[in-house]
Amino acid sequence: MNDLLYNKKTAYVTLFLMVLISIFIIGGNDIRREQLRILDVMNGYNELGINVVDESQIILANSSNLLVVASRYVSTSGSRLVEMRQFGDPDAEEWENIFGRVDEFMPDVHQLIDELATLDIEPRSDEQLTEIEINIYQALRRIRLSGYNDAAHNFNRVLRNPYTGMIAAVRGISSFRTVGEW
């Protein structure tokens, strides 16, 4: 047994394993710390106080209102926006699902807003559409202002590195989904 401990090969293997394990522990802690920083930005625990999840829910709620007003003037039966009505309460969902829904429906929302801008709409509905459009674009502006998308892109870029990706996989750290980019 004593010979095994003084064997050069065993010493090199042991040293290599110790270095590898310490790199995984230190590297994993750094990645976890960065992940928590991005979650803080997403939840509004930063100097701006912009909660990206709440802003995404504002976008979804106003998009649903847009669909109601738009149904008076254009046929929305073939639009993917109709699928929005099938979803339940966005408060009960995970943030990844909310972000996914915003990204899925925003191109259709933009198209519908552009289409409604060319139509002759009664003044009351026009006021509602203007308010809805302002709410959607202001929420998108606040999301951009929060810096969440940039931080998420940078974090995801780091995870694409094979070394850090392997550490993240071992530590159970996943990439972030961005919201509101088209």
Reported as a single tens digit per residue, the pLDDT across 27-83 is 778 888 899 999 998 888 877 888 998 999 899 889 888 888 888 887 766 666 666
Dist. CA 34–CA 18, nearest whole Å: 24
When mean pLDDT is compared across 35-39, 57-61, 84-88, 150-154, the lowest value belongs to 84-88
149: closest CA among 20, 56, 84, 81? 56
Tell me the pLDDT tens digit for each residue of 104-119. Answer: 888 888 888 888 888 8
pTM: 0.76
3-state secondary structure 74-98: CCCCCCHHHHHHHCCCHHHCCHHHH
- What are the b/e assignments for 98-135, b being 16+ CB within 10 Å? bbebbbebbebbeebbeebeeeebeeeeeebbeebbeb
Sign of CA dihedral 22, 27, 32, 33: positive
Opening angle at CA 72, ends 54 and 179, nearest 5: 25
Tokens encoding 24: 């995984």
pLDDT of residue 157: 92
pLDDT at 88 over 50: no
CA 136 to chain centroid: 16
